[in-house]
Amino acid sequence: MTVPTASPLVSRIQQAGALVTAELDARSHRSPDYAAESEALHAMAQALTESDTAMLQKLVDTALTLCAAGSAGISLHEPKDGQYSAFRWAAVAGRCADLAGHLIPTDDSPGGVAIALGSPQLFVFPKRHFRCLAHVVPEVTEELVVPVPGTPKPWGALWVMSHDDHHFDSEHRRILKSLAAFTCAALTIAQAKADAEARAREAEEARRAVAAAEAHKDDFIATLGHELRNPLAPIDSAMAAAQRLAADCPAVLSALAVANRQVQQLKRLVSDLLDASRIRHGKLSVRPAHALLGDIIKDAIAAVSEQAERRRHQLHATLPPYPVTVSADAARLVQVISNVLGDAVKYTPPGGEITLDVDAPDPAAIPEHDSAPREVVITVRDTGIGVPPDLLPRIFDRFSQSRSARMGAEGGLGLGLSVVKYLVNAHQGEVSVFSEGEGKGTQVVLRLPIVRHSSVEHSASTTHGIPPARILLVDDNADATEALALLLTLDGHEVKRAQNGLEALVLVESFTPDVALIDIHMPGMDGHELARLLRQRTQCASTRLVALTGSTGAKDSAAMREFDCCLVKPPSLEDLAFVMRG
């Protein structure tokens, strides 16, 4: 808003003879004391590091001294409702010092006249013409007022008053103009600092809001993943049991195979959700050990081979002719490679081609005492839908997918590559994705410094065959226990079920389990309390207690000390076979 015009006020003051600015040049003036002025400006420059109030006070103290005035002050515009209708005496020195903070109208004040005229003005006996000065004691014989320039409007006015026969001259005007210019610079700096601090606060508040939203989203994702595990467990177990029961019925097996493929897809989506939650909380870890790279590649290909065959893909793998020993978390590396292969299968049209090439040095050629890791480069190429250029920089972001990927019949959540990048980085490696654009295929390159000088025997093929065992299942989810019990019974085990801790305690009076699979979160007596009570039973002294939980971080919790081990729901048959073997 513009400053209200002061033309009527100027005319009135001029007609009253109170405006005597022309006398400044007619009066004799002292020689400039540049040394004192320089010292004063230096002191004010130092005051810039202090608060705005301290800086303005230093300014008016300097004006008071250099102009030998009785009072000095600075009047700054006090905006109200977008209008500049008042001046605030922001700092005052001398005989008017007790009036600091006083408000006066802009349209009836010496400062208003000086700003309206756009130049320094000298007034005689201003109290007689400006009602706003009536409270000033004693009489004011002269007042010299200099506008404080500013952009886009003046900041206000700097003024000095005489209360006796002291007269101001052109030298005093020069000093005040210099101080007014300094004031403009200081106020501009202060305003810029305040604006910057306000923007910084807004940015920090926005950052916190985004972080809070991200945390809420991650918590929701983790909860969703945990909740989805519960119905998946009985479905998966029931389907596995049904496939055994329908071994002689091809039509039923065919229908179950379709359902099983969709359940496996759901399990992968849930695993991606839970891995994203583990990454967020730093709980997705790797545990390196010596393994054969060939076994890792074989397991990764096996994980996607059925889907690749169903889509009639040509899947080729080229490995070194010699065994390559690596120091890596084999399970996590299988997850990395199968994720990359799975994306290639998913986003390559039927009949497409997928190749996996492994370039690794021969560990036998590494000197025996050389422990430095060598690099293995795994390259996966496909002839699929490719990646648009605008998505490539964000390809590893969570939930990042192209439109064509989202429209795919088997599209995922856009979490796979973010998990891949995290796990590759955890192995001190690098992953990069290349594509010439949509419809031109994709190339993923994994570089992992994991090759070691060592020899490892090929791992035996996995099997679920274990000696029959007496198993106690404790879970308040009846469907989950019924389906898992049926599957384990078909495998030759003797299984008893309980839906709460009290039922389990009654059962063990007549049934001594070899293994007890116990859900942690049950109403009433939870899994922890049940485990402690079972430990006190002499008949359960050799029972292997296994916790079942949907929490991704629980396996590392000190609260699990009552149990021999912990499995995340739904447990795989490999996991169950492992814990039952002890």
Claim to verify: residue 59 and residue 101 sit in the same structural domain:
yes
Same domain assignment for residues 496 and 369:
no
Same domain? 389 vs 434: yes
User: Does residue 524 lie within any of the structural domains?
Assistant: yes
The one-character DSSP state at 373 is P
My answer on whether 361 and 397 are in the same domain is yes
Domain holding 102: CATH number? 3.30.450.40
- Please enumerate, as own/partner, the contacts of 264-269 that have beta carbons within 8 Å and a separation of 24 or more: 265/410, 266/228, 266/232, 267/232, 267/236, 267/570, 268/342, 268/412, 269/412, 269/413
Residue 218 in domain: no
Query: Do 380 and 490 have their domain in common?
Result: no
We report the CATH number of the domain holding residue 551 as 3.40.50.2300
What gap in Å lies between CA 92 and CA 100, rounded to an integer?
A: 5
- Tokens matching residue 514: 């070899």
Q: Please choose, from the candidates 572, 529, 582, the residue with its C-alpha nearest in 3D space to the C-alpha of residue 232.
A: 572
Considering the entire predicted model, what is its pTM? 0.45
Quick one: pLDDT at residue 414?
A: 47
Residues 39 and 181 in one domain: yes
Decide which of 196, 211, 246 is a domain's last residue. 196
Range of the domain at 429: 289-451
Two structure tokens written together for 444: 């993923």
In a shared domain, residues 301 and 339: yes
Please check whether residue 263 lies inside any domain of the structure: no
| Residue 146 sits in the same domain as residue 180 | yes
Of 64, 56, 55, give the one whose Cα is nearest residue 36.
64
- Per-residue pLDDT reduced to its tens digit, 349-403: 999 999 999 999 888 888 877 778 789 999 999 998 888 888 887 777 754 554 5
Q: How far apart are CA 516 and CA 495, in angstroms?
A: 10
Grouping H, G, I as helix, E, B as strand and the rest as coil, residue 187 is helix
Q: Verify that 443 and 302 share a domain, yes or no.
A: yes
CA neighbours within 13 Å on the CB side: how many for 28? 1
Predicted pLDDT of residue 148? 95
- Ramachandran class of 328: left when φ > 0, alpha when ψ lies in -120 to 50, beta otherwise: beta
409 within a domain of the structure (yes/no): yes
Q: In the chain, how many domains are there?
A: 3
Q: For residue 300, what are its two tokens? A: 């990764």
Domain-ending residue, one of 418, 451, 484: 451
146 within some domain: yes
Task: With respect to residue 518, please indicate whether it lies within any of the assigned structural domains.
Answer: yes
Residue 247 located in a structural domain: no
| DSSP string over 53-109 | HHHHHHHHHHHHHHTT-SEEEEEEE--BTTB--EEEEEEEEETTGGGTT-EEEGGGS
Instruction: List, in order, residues 6 or more apart from 212 with CB less than 8 Å away.
Output: none
Contact between 507 and 473 (Cβ < 8 Å)? no
Residue 404 and residue 511 in one domain: no
Statement to judge: residues 444 and 500 lie in one domain: no
Q: Provide the 10 A C-beta neighbour count for residue 216.
A: 10
Q: Cβ(104)–Cβ(78) under 8 Å?
A: no
Contact 519, 527 (CB under 8 A): yes
CA distances from 539 to 365, 496, 528 (A): 56, 16, 19
Instruction: Indicate the residue among 163, 196, 229 that finishes a domain.
Output: 196
Specify whether 107 is located in the same domain as 142.
Answer: yes
- Taking alpha carbons only, the member of 71, 132, 144 closest to residue 104 is 132
Q: Which residues of the chain have pLDDT under 70?
A: 1-7, 81-84, 217-218, 221-230, 258, 261-285, 398-416, 454-466, 550-559, 570, 572-574, 581-582
User: What is the structure's pLDDT at 213?
Assistant: 79
Non-local (6+) Cβ contacts of 223 within 8 A are none
Going from the C-alpha of 209 to that of each of 204, 214, 282, 350, the distances in angstroms are 8, 8, 21, 44
Is residue 189, in this structure, part of any structural domain at all?
yes
| Domain of residue 444, CATH code | 3.30.565.10
Residue 534's pLDDT is 92
